[in-house]
Structure 1
């Protein structure tokens, strides 16, 4: 339905046999010069009266189909990469804080011996630079190894791209940018060394506040929750039956595709008498031409009938309610430069039409229109029926009876699955990858955060043990404090997924003509993810608290830290 064309590649001998049994179709292809407008060329071609009975497929339609399939997954992977990078920078920052806590006396001693602060910073900066370079090289090597299985489907669908020297350069540039971001983050974190005098470093073991570690715990929970929920919400929304209203299709139970008017007339009588049918409508599509302001025309499929029976989603305005009204798809309105309230003339129609609204549509190139009725003597290009059965009616037997009468019928759920099968499969894989990545990062960072917090507060823990507190009591105290931060971070991640996450997905789909996009949130799955995130964070917290056993009561008397 997105391109109105299905093709098969056959052997030349098979083609010779098929030519005698069918009508031959001719494909006419053009490569336009740089800067030429495909829309203007199309209007010029049609005005010249050249053959134009088939669908018009341009690069924008092919781009839209690519975005619906592979580019949607690439967008999610890019979003996951940004979230992982942000969380990684947070990890590096607090790992560095932990290292500075452990090396506090050494850095204080170096300053007391006269080593400048700049030299001390350079020691740590060189150390982390030497760790960053092998990490970047390992990432490049992993990308080279994984590129063949990851790009297998792209090569099968679109062919092999020509070799280009720009690809390795782009990879090296991206790796260099990531290394630069990491080193800048390390450099900014090392400013804390400038605020420490040699005496403070030698005598005061606490310079970093406890709230910093707790904030990191909440921030990581929020980031990982966002990382897991956005792919889950997008996958569930695209696979839900209600999303068809953003595809230009009615939210019905069943869909019937007809080609001839006599079949549509007999079907109308049959549906009228069928006791199992609760609501139905037949929509006829005519191939019309819109007259533009410059005098040229544009092919525009216009769907007519009872549009309110199974309405589509309107981004602006509403569907037509009178004979001289017309609703345009978003992509068609963009090309025609029209808004609700403007006037549009169709060739062959005596009266102009008033644009009442703009609706979402990604079928048939995304450039369609809807009206109640057209005064025309031409036969409809196709007829589509939408049916919803009464509660308790057996839809499978009803579909079999229609198929037996030669009427193609498909459930809307299967229609969505067939249209987006590959996309939904890839989205599911991306969701699983995001969930695994998010949980892994969450456990590692929470473990490091608690270790950092314990390292910061060893003297306080030692003093409490000297006063009679047991290790179990201290662990329970820290664990209870951590619960509220984990719950708060998880709730913040949910709000981020429902706010900025939904906005980013909406921004991508709006470029395809699917406006008014909202997440269809699966409550059971969302609740399960939130519980899983909290459980993983608290489990990592409890495991990391075992280091409290190594804190001895005499440490507070010695006035020094032990690792």
Structure 2
């Protein structure tokens, strides 16, 4: 009997039932896909970390070092340290790596190193997350370069540096836990020990050392770092904790997952509103049948079961369909994860977590049904037999007399008047239009923001035309001085500013010391956007990144003091400002040049410059790249693209998906709402037709009112995506070093193109729905 009732109801209300089914399915698909993606990320990262066994502490050093001293230190702190290994990197400039048709990797912002596989931990893996084993004459290429230069297995790359010239066959792609992400500034190529020895003998590259420690489960990372620094062991580069590598690997997928979760929550809200709408519409159609059942003496619970069982069945079927389809949809979202983290995402956690979505939607539907059915209990059988329970809205204080109309045609004015007087009835549609617009505009704003050159300000970089990075070489100091002299005499350069980045020791709140990268120079020419305060302008001043100034960092505010140690000399600096930076784990600083340079720990030199008006950026980049082969010359847009390319590509997919889903939702909801409204107003429509109004005139009234709601919803939705969206994104990004995101808007997209697409789609739906619904046999309606 139960299935027969559902079948009969489906035959009677096919459109409503199918629409509700699609709403629930779509909500479950998105919500389950989001949780599925997070589960994949958790399991993928766990497996990746387990196979790669990354270091817990990594010390970067260039220059002389004594392995025996490091071994003695390791033995001294065996209570904390389980293993120690030193990887020797041979750094090769990108211009010396050739591939394809006379192409090189010149211009990459990445430091390129050739290494051999480690023996004990920090393994570099293949795409099956197995430890790489490279044959002589072969090389494993980082995934980053595989994507950037379209390299494939079997292709050839050649290293030509000084007197060294050797060709390698690409045998594998390298998945590197510590240097996988574009946010890290280094990448490792893996070669065979024999090839490595030959390269070392020919002195093809500059040597750099990764002094790595794997701690015991009970090991204290802070204690080991402090002891290492106090011992005076080699450390002229940054000291990096293992959790930073975890953050970098997960960042791009996590940002996309957070956006999808937000969209999923909004879709669930839309689904709940739609279910309420369809339920009210169904009950309004069945109000007389409900009155008959009440008059016959049927219990309240029995009447409720008629509707509850139907929606329980639909929600279970749609939830199951959405749950199964989500595993196909999620493949569109996790392509980056499959490439960079794990090709095998078959863990069981995603199946369990994804069940949350259909269960949540099911409980929500039952809750809504029960809440609405309580309203039926308050209606007597007599009232149900002669009326309906749909909210028509309170009569407005003003009647909007037709005589006051001076701007619109009579039919349009009557439609706007009806909507204003019954806005309580239209408010559901109004809210849904706001949410749909929000779902469209928010991903577009995020995409445009991270794709804009102005996003560099969230990377601790001032706005500039070009950026030149000089990494550590034997001639780095001479090249830096020569470059500045040339820039002074180059009339195409409007202004430039040199910056030096070195590692310093900074005192924490508890009195311990920590390593920090501090950039020194003149920050007035290419100013950053500061959350608080200003750039360091005088001697004894420093600005901290948001992550450094936070409570889990140095816990400093503007006006506080920071103690910095260079060698054995300590200086006290005053914090003048706090800026945003998502690079290097978010923990950086800018100081006045009076701080001096830690000559033993210089990391890199940077020159920022602006060109004179009319000068070609590309030509100037080519000139300086050829003149300074060891330099990395990029315009700021290319620098941002290389650093955030994966996030940008993934956000583009989210943008397309968000627009498609929001438009489909808006169209279906509009059609359903108008079906309900026109069914409710059928008697009123019949009266208008009987007094001489044409079908076209009646359609114009309903179209005018609904379009007004749509335009208001779009306008408020765009404003909400700008204001509320910025707050939500800033909240999510605060843990990554950016606490206040200001969207970069492309006005023709956010205020014209996207709203116009929604307006056209919904407008056509309104036209078709009104045209179909106001037709019919007038005598039948009047008799009823």
TM-score bracket, normalised by the shorter chain, equals: over 0.9
Per-residue CA deviation, residues 365-384 of structure 1 (Å, 9 max, x unaligned), is 32221112223562632110
SS at match of 2:355: helix
In structure 2, what is the equivalent of residue 529 of structure 1?
A: 754
Bigger proportion of residues as helix:
1
Change in CA separation of 1:205 and 1:553 when aligned onto 2, cut-off 3 Å = farther
- Once residues 137 and 285 of structure 1 are traced to their aligned partners in structure 2, the CA distance between those partners, rounded to angstroms, is 56
In angstroms, what is the RMSD of aligned CA positions? 2.2
- Once residues 496 and 69 of structure 1 are traced to their aligned partners in structure 2, the CA distance between those partners, rounded to angstroms, is 25
In structure 2, what is the equivalent of residue 420 of structure 1?
A: 644
Change in CA separation of 1:552 and 1:31 when aligned onto 2, cut-off 3 Å = farther
In structure 2, what is the equivalent of residue 171 of structure 1?
A: 354
Contact kept, 8 Å, 1:359 with 1:515, in 2: the verdict is no
Shift of 1:138: 0.7
- Deviating more after overlay: 196-205 vs 303-312: 196-205
In structure 2, what is the equivalent of residue 225 of structure 1?
A: 437
Contact kept, 8 Å, 1:278 with 1:390, in 2: the verdict is yes
Shift of 1:286: 1.9
Which residues in structure 2 correspond to 1:110-125 (within 5 Å)? 110-125=293-308
- Once residues 533 and 659 of structure 2 are traced to their aligned partners in structure 1, the CA distance between those partners, rounded to angstroms, is 39
Contact kept, 8 Å, 2:237 with 2:502, in 1: the verdict is no
Shift of 1:556: 5.3
TM-score by length of 1: 0.94
Instruction: Check if 1:518 corresponds to 2:742.
Output: yes
Shift of 1:78: 0.7
Instruction: Check if 1:5 corresponds to 2:5.
Output: no
SS at match of 1:381: strand
Shift of 1:323: 0.6
SS at match of 1:397: helix
Of residues 279, 297, 300, the one that matches 2:495 is: 279
- Once residues 360 and 125 of structure 1 are traced to their aligned partners in structure 2, the CA distance between those partners, rounded to angstroms, is 52
Contact kept, 8 Å, 1:509 with 1:515, in 2: the verdict is yes
In structure 1, what is the equivalent of residue 584 of structure 2?
A: 364
Instruction: Check if 1:257 corresponds to 2:469.
Output: yes
Per-residue CA deviation, residues 520-547 of structure 1 (Å, 9 max, x unaligned), is 1110111211222222222211111023
Of residues 599, 603, 615, the one that matches 1:378 is: 599
SS at match of 1:554: helix
Shift of 1:285: 1.3
Contact kept, 8 Å, 1:221 with 1:537, in 2: the verdict is no
SS at match of 1:386: strand
- Once residues 449 and 538 of structure 2 are traced to their aligned partners in structure 1, the CA distance between those partners, rounded to angstroms, is 33
Contact kept, 8 Å, 1:325 with 1:353, in 2: the verdict is yes
- Once residues 424 and 213 of structure 1 are traced to their aligned partners in structure 2, the CA distance between those partners, rounded to angstroms, is 41
Change in CA separation of 1:220 and 1:191 when aligned onto 2, cut-off 3 Å = same
In structure 1, what is the equivalent of residue 396 of structure 2?
A: none
Change in CA separation of 1:221 and 1:293 when aligned onto 2, cut-off 3 Å = closer
SS at match of 1:511: helix
Change in CA separation of 1:264 and 1:292 when aligned onto 2, cut-off 3 Å = same
Give 5+ residue unaligned stretches, structure 1: none
Contact kept, 8 Å, 2:333 with 2:650, in 1: the verdict is no
In structure 1, what is the equivalent of residue 524 of structure 2?
A: 308
- Once residues 101 and 291 of structure 1 are traced to their aligned partners in structure 2, the CA distance between those partners, rounded to angstroms, is 71
Which residues in structure 2 correspond to 1:328-407 (within 5 Å)? 328-334=544-550, 335-348=553-566, 349-373=569-593, 374-376=595-597, 378=599, 380-406=602-628, 407=631
Shift of 1:482: 1.6
Bigger proportion of residues as strand:
2
Instruction: Check if 1:15 corresponds to 2:196.
Output: yes
Change in CA separation of 1:358 and 1:417 when aligned onto 2, cut-off 3 Å = same
- Once residues 389 and 723 of structure 2 are traced to their aligned partners in structure 1, the CA distance between those partners, rounded to angstroms, is 38
SS at match of 1:265: helix
TM-score by length of 2: 0.68
In structure 1, what is the equivalent of residue 724 of structure 2?
A: 500
In structure 2, what is the equivalent of residue 235 of structure 1?
A: 447
- Once residues 642 and 308 of structure 2 are traced to their aligned partners in structure 1, the CA distance between those partners, rounded to angstroms, is 54
Per-residue CA deviation, residues 436-492 of structure 1 (Å, 9 max, x unaligned), is 000000000001111110011111011111111111110011111122211111112
Contact kept, 8 Å, 1:246 with 1:514, in 2: the verdict is yes
Of residues 111, 132, 140, the one that matches 2:315 is: 132
Which residues in structure 2 correspond to 1:417-496 (within 5 Å)? 417-496=641-720
SS at match of 1:57: strand
- Once residues 462 and 353 of structure 1 are traced to their aligned partners in structure 2, the CA distance between those partners, rounded to angstroms, is 81
- Once residues 330 and 475 of structure 1 are traced to their aligned partners in structure 2, the CA distance between those partners, rounded to angstroms, is 57
- Once residues 432 and 294 of structure 1 are traced to their aligned partners in structure 2, the CA distance between those partners, rounded to angstroms, is 49
SS at match of 1:28: strand
SS at match of 1:286: strand
Per-residue CA deviation, residues 7-35 of structure 1 (Å, 9 max, x unaligned), is 1233444334333334363451324536x
Shift of 1:244: 0.6
Contact kept, 8 Å, 1:44 with 1:296, in 2: the verdict is no
Shift of 1:181: 1.5
- Deviating more after overlay: 169-178 vs 266-275: 169-178
Shift of 1:495: 2.0
In structure 2, what is the equivalent of residue 267 of structure 1?
A: 483
Contact kept, 8 Å, 2:281 with 2:676, in 1: the verdict is yes
SS at match of 1:521: coil
- Deviating more after overlay: 548-557 vs 326-335: 548-557
SS at match of 1:234: helix
In structure 2, what is the equivalent of residue 538 of structure 1?
A: 763
Change in CA separation of 1:103 and 1:162 when aligned onto 2, cut-off 3 Å = closer
- Once residues 598 and 720 of structure 2 are traced to their aligned partners in structure 1, the CA distance between those partners, rounded to angstroms, is 54
